[in-house]
Chain A
């Protein structure tokens, strides 16, 4: 068979049934095969959206997402999406066309060094120079993308190799002598970790994206239950622990919840699982959890000790290690940290962020509250990047893993909408909502055509404040309110924009409207855009760069009216002795 046929066959062998792509000259042989194949191909309107959609597909389903772009500009357009997947350890396989092998290096039409460009943003990359290499390379690509610490893999496919003949092998072997991810944690280290945890009085569990990737949410829950220990998450870990649980602290970090930032500062033992201590999570590292012994569980040994010195490192799969750790700890009779648990619960309820506002223009908190009321535990929410993302991360209550999808590491504006598209394709039975800002959505709005043409009924909520809100927030706080090029002006009219694509659209302006409109949109079973006019002046309290986690600026509005809650106390000192 031809190389292009072998590509399709190899993808099918890997269980792929849907790909997101955009054809081009050097991909003609491949697309000619796709024409006859059972593979579902979704034609996006920009390659970047193919990569984000494959990423969203992967994050929602746990399977490998596949995207395709042609050589040259097709490949460079994929780059942002590949980098996004790389930073958030998402299993994506990107197929890029390449000029015929005899032209490589000649600056041929639409030629670019895709391997060179993507080397620092992929887990690995392949370029078959003969068609016989295709089956094993694709099998290796899927294996590498989905095991260990997941990540994107690029396959660069020269046109002539797609056209050349090969005999498709019965048995495909892969040989990766340099790739053997560690699974089981070192038993001595697990024992040491158990000792540290049992001796601690004030333990906190910090769960990152690795918890979701390894499917160890249940283990985190058990560990928390066993100890009465609170759980905070990174942005990527959001949803791995039910955030309405009295021991959930919500997100940690620069835009984290007050309770989380203060309790991590206060704790004497931090059990960090599947996280990489990014600068957005830790703030000033010299002030991060200074009183705590830190246990760090991660599948990637290079993450351990990279940003934060660690007392007990354990390399391996979080699920296996946590199960082991729970077994060891369960053998001890008294594991509960009752006083700490009580303190955590009280402090938590004293600073639950305020969500209810009846202002017009709408406060984002109120919008998120209404979104929460319109969705179920199974609804998938994606966010864009900026204020919309941090508002969602801060105020939205996530209860299940893989239901909150956001570009954490790379912080890619334009991620939310195509990622939602991918998630909806992966899980068509679930409701999928993209919460975007007006800036980020406009970067990818052309893919309204895709959701319309393929009838992918996602709901896009554009939190519309006509500002690049996050940058404007920093300008207000740290640059003497010099609002340099962050005002977006009057256009476009998002409702008309959506209508031009044949997509239903609504505009929401007043409290109460969001919930009803969103419910209606979800029930319609059609792609919908909701333009939500929000207050441009609302800012989220934050930890300024270079500060410790407790040095938050901005007023932290709390839900005072919650009956029976303890009034908010503003600083660690006022909390009194533990």
Chain B
């Protein structure tokens, strides 16, 4: 599809066991893809917010939002407009760092990316970084040279800019 792109879907759902399974199951069953999904409590008790990154054209997106809306435990669904959305992801990266030179370089890179060193051992460093997925990708690229041992990414979460809510 020519107009296929990545979409940020924000869903307000009841915070109950099984909701994630319903949402994930819906995506599998209808053949929609999920690049990432994050869930956590929202501003309201008993209500959670899910952020789903999915790829598709307008027709697919329309189906995704409509089908999500049909789930009884889904209260609201919006396909967020990227320019008016703030999107952030958290990533933890564990790299080899046994040489002094490597260590200082890694720490410099982390600083440039406004990351933090959150764990140190004689042989490695663990960096915490938040930002857009692209920024995180860039830091990971730079750190490849030192030998990355482990990466843990949360997947992006998102919220609308300004006074508007979904």
Contact = CB atoms under 8 A, between A and B. Distances in A.
A192 B7 CA distance: 31
Contact of A144 (B25, B67, B72): B72
B29 A178 contact: no
Given A178-B75, A305-B62, A306-B63, A115 B69 contact: no
B161 interface: no
Interface string B1-43: 0000000000001100010011001100100000000000000
B1 to A, nearest CB: 15
Interface in A262-302: 300-302
A306 B73 CA distance: 22
B59 interface: yes
A300 B74 CA distance: 15
A119 B18 CA distance: 10
A178 B16 CA distance: 13
B143 to A, nearest CB: 40
A300 B25 contact: no
A309 to B, nearest CB: 9
A123 B25 contact: no
B11 to A, nearest CB: 10
B120 interface: no
Counting chain B residues whose Cβ lies within 8 A of the other chain, the interface size class is 20 to 34
Nearest to A144: B72
A302 B63 contact: yes
A116 B21 contact: yes
A563 interface: no
B70 interface: yes
Contacts of B63: 302, 306
A176 interface: yes
A123 B71 CA distance: 8
Centre residue among A123, A302, A306 by max chain B CB count within 10 A: A302
B75 A177 contact: yes
Contacts of A302: 63, 66-67, 69-70
Given A302-B67, A306-B63, A123 B72 contact: yes
Contacts of B29: 120
B75 A119 contact: no
Contacts of A35: none
A301 B69 contact: yes
Interface in B108-136: none
Nearest to A309: B59
B72 A176 contact: yes
B14 A178 contact: yes
Interface in B33-58: none
Nearest to B66: A302
Centre residue among B26, B63, B69, B70 by max chain A CB count within 10 A: B70
Interface string B66-97: 11011111110000000000000000000000
Interface of B: 13-14, 18, 21-22, 25-26, 29, 59, 62-63, 66-67, 69-75
Given A124-B72, A178-B14, 13 more contacts: A116-B21, A119-B18, A119-B21, A119-B25, A120-B29, A177-B14, A178-B71, A178-B73, A178-B74, A300-B70, A301-B69, A302-B70, A306-B63
Interface of A: 115-116, 119-120, 123-124, 144, 176-179, 300-302, 305-306
28 contacts: A115-B18, A116-B21, A119-B22, A119-B25, A120-B25, A120-B26, A120-B29, A123-B72, A124-B72, A176-B72, A177-B14, A177-B75, A178-B13, A178-B14, A178-B72, A178-B73, A178-B74, A179-B72, A300-B70, A301-B66, A301-B69, A302-B63, A302-B66, A302-B67, A302-B69, A302-B70, A305-B62, A306-B63
